[in-house]
Structure 1
Amino acid sequence: MRSFFLPVLSLTLSLAASAIADPTLSPWKLHERRSHIPAGWTRTQKLDSSASVPLRFALAQSNIENIEALLYDVSHPDSPNYGNHWSASQIAAKFAPSTESIDTVRSWLIESGVEPHRMKLSPTKGWLEVASTVEEAENLLLAEYHVYDHETGTKHIACESYHLPEHVTPHVDFVTPTIHFDAKVQKRTDKSYGRVPIGQPGQGSTPKTTGQIDGLLTQIEDCDKQITPICLRALYGLWYQPVAGDKNSYGIVEYSPQAYVQSDLDLFAKNFSTGLEGVSPTLVSIDGGSVPTSASSFDYNGESNLDLEYGMTLVTKGQNVTLYQVGDSVEGASFNTFLDALDGTYCTFEGGDDPNQDPVYPDTASGGYSGQEDCGTVTPANVISTSYGYNEADLSAAYAIRQCNEYGKLGLMGVTFLFSSGDWGVAGNGGYCLNADGTQSPDGTIFNPAFPATCPYVTAVGATQVSSGKNVWEPEDACEQVIYSGGGFSNYFSTPDYQKAAVEGYLQANPISYSKDIYNSTGSRAYPDLSANGANYAVAIDGSFSLVYGTSAASPVVGAILTMVNDARISHGKPPLGFINPTIYSAGFAGAFKDITNGTNPGCGTLGFNTTKGWDPVTGLGTPYFPSLLAKWLTL
């Protein structure tokens, strides 16, 4: 059952001459195979052979195999190039698909009978599109296309597997439409598994709430009952006033229709944030993202209100916070929608993503965003916090790997990406776990890791709590109130070098007794990287305060702490932190985190993993302590 953990398969086939235009193009290799139909989808009928299908070939990026080494060169504290981040033009030049890749794929298509006028290369040279019929696509890829129906009424075109000639395979990341069902990103759901637009009421949400608070508890002695900004400042030593706010930047990402309510931000500021009443984050609209004034409920506003109330308060009025509001309220957005806006080289054909995977703009629906898709139009902030995510198994490995490499490229540019690790322990969103055939269900028994948290080029943030009866001066525990800190081992990504010693140390000191059939024991990226409090937050929502829980609370808190470290570095003439993982795992930073040694992250019918001294797959390295981090980072 290990097979569904493998990103790319390589089965060599002999092909009959009648299947392709030129039999000399053999042998062929299996490029991707899907082991199951995703939840909610049913294969219904064979696709008509004369129907049109726009094939898109994602061309392999040059030097992408070296991205880890290149990223370490500017991110490892022992490197002489630490902090020498790249420009966007350097990134584009280094990773653009080679002329050889373009020519190889184009030549194969021409030899197979595709006329040149039916091929188009994207402006970024990352994608080659072919106007094709189903019959031709099936012959080109040795595939069989069917129509798939979703329980919501959505239809999709896909195949079970596809092949490429052996000499073409190294030049193509993946082809669409093929095995992928990677649609719009959704919020982590607590009620159901399935692809629903993010932020829609009735679909569950992260964070979670236990309801309204009868009365605010604002004393530091009450932090085991309610978390407020003073609790977080005491827990993590964040007593700092920014001095370089005009040169620094902190970004928080929200996906429409989830949006903040200004009156709630003002209510929170009135109680906790001197000078922030009436202050809004700087809105950067991506593909029609807006902040509507009509909706007001936890489902619509809980996430954004939480992120901004605590993010803005912890960095104080001296540091502006940028809100990236992504997607219109009709079509929604995917992570690729946001990444396209940050990096024009990531955009697909003619500035748009594949319509079978990502939203297409202009949105022709009533009330939709009618402008052109944002492509390379947004300057990324130094630190970007995101509290949304998939289950890793929702995506094909090729799709996840390509997106992960993009986070690596942005890390080269000096951007720190933070993602919440999920709220279901070792289970996936909604408590879904994997079955032996790769499907997901509530009664599955195989651990179901999160993405992008498992991408080795982002920093995954888990959750802790101040347990009942304890105070902020005592060690926190892993979060086991309402939510469980997401953590475990990737099924797609291998263990990065910066993490090997920490993970090996954990496994040696804490032998895992579970069967190797329920988690990936083959040496993979482990998460989270660090943690922060995620329980009992007092959040202003819909005109009153509610108790809120989630790793989505922890991520913006860590983002605020790192933003203040950047402020100090910038004020001393130093560059921003960029990708932090090689540094925080290094020996020199061992004392910069408060170790968490109590608690587990249950899921999939197990207690999950256990916390322990040092790194663990529940709380990572522990919680950040700002004075220690500041002192250590100022020496780099």
Structure 2
Amino acid sequence: MRSLSVWLSVALATVVIAVPSKDGAHKLKESIPAPRGWTKSAPAPADHIIELRIALPQPNFAELERHLYEVSDPFHDRYGQHLSKEEVESLVTPEPESVHLVNEWLASHGLYEDSLSRSPAKDWVLVKVPVTLAEEMLKTEYHVWTHDASGESVVRTTEYSIPEHLDDHVELVQPTTMFSRMRSLKTTFHINDVQEKVAAAPAAAPPISIPSASGGHVDASCNQTITITCLQQLYNAVGFTPSTKHGNEIGITGYLEEFANIQDLQSFYADQRPDALNSSFTTVLINGGLNNQTLSEAGGEANLDTQFAYGLTFPTPGTFWSTGGRPPFKPDTITTTDTNEPYTEWLDFVLSQPKLPQSISTSYADDEQTVPASFAKRVCAGFAQLGARGTSLMFSSGDGGVGDGEEDPALQECFTNDGRNATRFVPLFPPSCPFVTAVGGTIHVPETAVFFSGGGFSDLFPRPAYQELAVTKFLKTLAPGTYQGLFNPNGRAIPDVAAQADLFRVFLSGRPVSIGGTSAAAPTFTGIVSLLNSARLEKGLPPLGFLNPLVYAIQALDPTAFNDITVGNNPGCGTPGFNATKGWDPITGVGTPNFGKLKDIVTLDFLHIPGL
């Protein structure tokens, strides 16, 4: 860990008023071809405001990664010994020289400390500037680009440069070359006026025999409508009540003006969880996020996530973060600010908090290829910081099968975005980040892989060691030449796990609706993880933290701890996609959770379990 003198040097470097100086020669930092599906129109308005986000290198990130894997590996004697906020920050804080030189560069353009903001570890610098100044600083030209299919617009450039002497001190600057279109992941969403009849119709049918379920059976109604009771039965969690005495919490992220409605939550509780009536959750607003409680403004995604995550884990305290901002904007006189991906705004906020929920669910993503590699890697590094502090992060794997996230295969455009327009499967980010747990989807009882479950292999992140055994086994099942050139067999494999992902009974604007998508699977699996954390904390054990090394270790040693899904496929890009099969597969990962078995495993001291 860094000494006090280093911290003092960094602190002094952040407040020094640098003497303005000329930038000198510039060096090209990043250049991309014109992005596919976007049309460049007029030059960006000179007074349009851009919030530049400047990343300084994290010289000791490799050390942070080492710590992360050691405290997340059930075979390691440091398992569960998560780092503090201060310890994590000390490992990602930039060198004082980098801070000083970037300060000097900004000051040369009239940007001093009072006009800047910084991330908790000082590894990001944010400054709002007009387009004219951004163009001067980065020796580039910004234009308004319009997405052909949606009509959404962004102010972006396809290349930028920085002063040559800063090349080793600035990792990236955005928004510049990022043409992503963040979206929530839901494949079906429809108001069902006959929902009451649909839910009640199968009540007389005999229960479905499922040996791994609580009591060995699941209500027949669960093949038409998924409720909290269905999930508790199916995932062997009936009868477990989490404790509120040991600090366990669960968090849900909300983006794209999605508001979780309290009145709808009470309707949901009255319908499915009456013991939770009159309870609620904490809403935290980030980056101009809102909390519109007008019933007609309720968000389907936000309601789905909060109702099922908090319904599964009641009475565990819950937090819903409403984060403002999105990359696309309409360039008019009302909207004058262009923003980065709101993941980073959320990350800056939560990393600054001394205490974090132990499990967090996110149901939003971009096509991996639309996010610049430098930016994706830095965001992924932010997720690693949360994991090192003991937080489990779940992301839905996508709703386009092996395609680009479009639910309708006929609308998928499975082409590379690098100017070659080559046919390629399209993984999503952040699920492709190796430091998060990607959640795929299933349907019906007995469970099969749901056709839209996103899955495949990252083109950006290499396969992590914790996946090597399971994924290699799967790849050996493929016939030689299967989908050759369409995916990267050496990439980080998606997803890691799965859960039910369709026919969820949610209340929206006062009415029951049916919602599906891996956006339902993520909060469901997160709820199970939260219950596991409650069981561990009650035993005096630390929270699970970064899950993946443990998930794959358990699956290898006790496959019955996850319900292996062996039926189904995830078509996309004009192909049948991959098949669900024994063991790990790129549709459902290692399978869906058996809470009862997992609880028995994770409440033991791993280091003293024979064979583990």
Q: TM-score surpassing 0.5?
A: yes
**Within 2, Cα distance between the matches of 1:135 and 1:251?**
40
Q: For residues 205-226 of structure 1, what are the alpha-carbon distances to aligned partners after superposition, in whole Å with 9 as ceiling and x for unaligned? A: 5553373414123841222122
Deviates more, 1:511-520 or 1:498-507: 511-520
SS at 1:389 equivalent: strand
Do 1:207 and 1:303's aligned partners in 2 also have CA atoms closer than 8 Å? no
**Within 1, Cα distance between the matches of 2:305 and 2:517?**
11
Shift in Å at residue 545 of structure 1? 2.3
Shift in Å at residue 176 of structure 1? 3.5
Change (3 A) 1:122 1:520: same
The correspondence of residues 55-204 of structure 1 with structure 2, limited to 5 A, is 57-103=54-100, 115=108, 118=111, 122-124=117-119, 125-127=122-124, 144-150=140-146, 156-163=154-161, 168-182=166-180, 185-188=182-185
Query: Hey, what does 1:634 align to over in structure 2?
Result: 603
SS at 1:490 equivalent: strand
Do 2:74 and 2:550's aligned partners in 1 also have CA atoms closer than 8 Å? yes
Shift in Å at residue 134 of structure 1? 8.2
Change (3 A) 1:53 1:527: closer
Residue from 406, 423, 446 that aligns with 1:430 = 406
Change (3 A) 1:416 1:439: farther
**Within 2, Cα distance between the matches of 1:54 and 1:323?**
25
Residue from 478, 502, 509 that aligns with 1:542 = 509
**Within 2, Cα distance between the matches of 1:593 and 1:246?**
27
Matched, 1:224 2:223: yes
Q: For residues 49-104 of structure 1, what are the alpha-carbon distances to aligned partners after superposition, in whole Å with 9 as ceiling and x for unaligned? A: x9998866421112123443221011000111111111111111111001243356
Query: Hey, what does 1:486 align to over in structure 2?
Result: 454
**1:208 corresponds to which letter in structure 2?**
F
Residue from 477, 500, 520 that aligns with 1:509 = 477
Q: For residues 591-629 of structure 1, what are the alpha-carbon distances to aligned partners after superposition, in whole Å with 9 as ceiling and x for unaligned? A: 311111111111111111111111110000100100111
**Within 1, Cα distance between the matches of 2:142 and 2:379?**
26
Do 2:434 and 2:461's aligned partners in 1 also have CA atoms closer than 8 Å? yes
Shift in Å at residue 541 of structure 1? 2.5
**Within 2, Cα distance between the matches of 1:550 and 1:138?**
41
Change (3 A) 1:99 1:233: same
Q: For residues 209-267 of structure 1, what are the alpha-carbon distances to aligned partners after superposition, in whole Å with 9 as ceiling and x for unaligned? A: 37341412384122212222222112110121113455210112222532233333222
**Within 1, Cα distance between the matches of 2:136 and 2:292?**
48
Residue from 335, 339, 344 that aligns with 1:336 = 344
**2:222 corresponds to which letter in structure 1?**
C
Change (3 A) 1:282 1:55: closer
**2:519 corresponds to which letter in structure 1?**
S
SS at 1:275 equivalent: helix
Change (3 A) 1:503 1:166: farther
**Within 2, Cα distance between the matches of 1:261 and 1:55?**
33
Shift in Å at residue 131 of structure 1? 9.9
Matched, 1:465 2:433: no
Change (3 A) 1:153 1:234: closer
- Identity over aligned pairs, percent: 33
Shift in Å at residue 118 of structure 1? 4.9
**Within 2, Cα distance between the matches of 1:296 and 1:51?**
33
Give structure 1 stretches of 5+ with no counterpart: 1-19, 189-204, 345-375
**1:343 corresponds to which letter in structure 2?**
L
**Within 2, Cα distance between the matches of 1:589 and 1:502?**
13
**Within 2, Cα distance between the matches of 1:601 and 1:282?**
37
Matched, 1:456 2:412: no
Residue from 340, 357, 366 that aligns with 1:390 = 366
**1:273 corresponds to which letter in structure 2?**
R
Query: Hey, what does 2:215 align to over in structure 1?
Result: none
Residue from 313, 316, 320 that aligns with 1:315 = 313
**Within 2, Cα distance between the matches of 1:225 and 1:57?**
49
SS at 2:296 equivalent: coil
The correspondence of residues 184-333 of structure 1 with structure 2, limited to 5 A, is 185-188=182-185, 208-209=189-190, 211-212=192-193, 213-215=195-197, 216-217=199-200, 219=203, 220-239=219-238, 240-245=240-245, 247-255=247-255, 257-296=257-296, 300-316=298-314, 318-327=315-324
SS at 1:585 equivalent: helix
**Within 1, Cα distance between the matches of 2:589 and 2:568?**
12
Do 2:118 and 2:125's aligned partners in 1 also have CA atoms closer than 8 Å? no
**Within 2, Cα distance between the matches of 1:93 and 1:553?**
36
**Within 2, Cα distance between the matches of 1:154 and 1:607?**
31
Residue from 375, 379, 382 that aligns with 1:399 = 375
Matched, 1:621 2:602: no
Shift in Å at residue 133 of structure 1? 9.8
Q: For residues 541-591 of structure 1, what are the alpha-carbon distances to aligned partners after superposition, in whole Å with 9 as ceiling and x for unaligned? A: 333322221111111111111111111111111111110101111134533
**Within 2, Cα distance between the matches of 1:293 and 1:22?**
52
Do 2:145 and 2:155's aligned partners in 1 also have CA atoms closer than 8 Å? no
Query: Hey, what does 2:448 align to over in structure 1?
Result: 477
**1:418 corresponds to which letter in structure 2?**
M
SS at 1:37 equivalent: coil
SS at 2:574 equivalent: coil
SS at 2:459 equivalent: strand
RMSD: 3.4
**Within 1, Cα distance between the matches of 2:324 and 2:509?**
23
Query: Hey, what does 1:601 align to over in structure 2?
Result: 570
Shift in Å at residue 272 of structure 1? 1.8
Query: Hey, what does 2:544 align to over in structure 1?
Result: 577
Shift in Å at residue 516 of structure 1? 3.2
SS at 1:617 equivalent: coil
Change (3 A) 1:569 1:335: same
Do 1:385 and 1:559's aligned partners in 2 also have CA atoms closer than 8 Å? yes
Do 1:589 and 1:632's aligned partners in 2 also have CA atoms closer than 8 Å? no
Give structure 2 stretches of 5+ with no counterpart: 1-21, 204-218, 327-334, 607-612
Deviates more, 1:125-134 or 1:83-92: 125-134
Could you state the TM-score of these two structures normalised by the residue count of structure 1? 0.77
Could you state the TM-score of these two structures normalised by the residue count of structure 2? 0.79
Residue from 408, 421, 436 that aligns with 2:397 = 421
SS at 1:429 equivalent: coil
Residue from 465, 468, 475 that aligns with 1:497 = 465
Change (3 A) 1:126 1:319: closer
Do 2:140 and 2:161's aligned partners in 1 also have CA atoms closer than 8 Å? no
SS at 1:435 equivalent: coil
Query: Hey, what does 1:532 align to over in structure 2?
Result: 499
Do 1:158 and 1:180's aligned partners in 2 also have CA atoms closer than 8 Å? yes
Shift in Å at residue 148 of structure 1? 2.3
Change (3 A) 1:52 1:230: closer
Change (3 A) 1:132 1:410: closer
SS at 2:438 equivalent: strand
Do 2:41 and 2:144's aligned partners in 1 also have CA atoms closer than 8 Å? yes
**2:585 corresponds to which letter in structure 1?**
D
Matched, 1:559 2:559: no
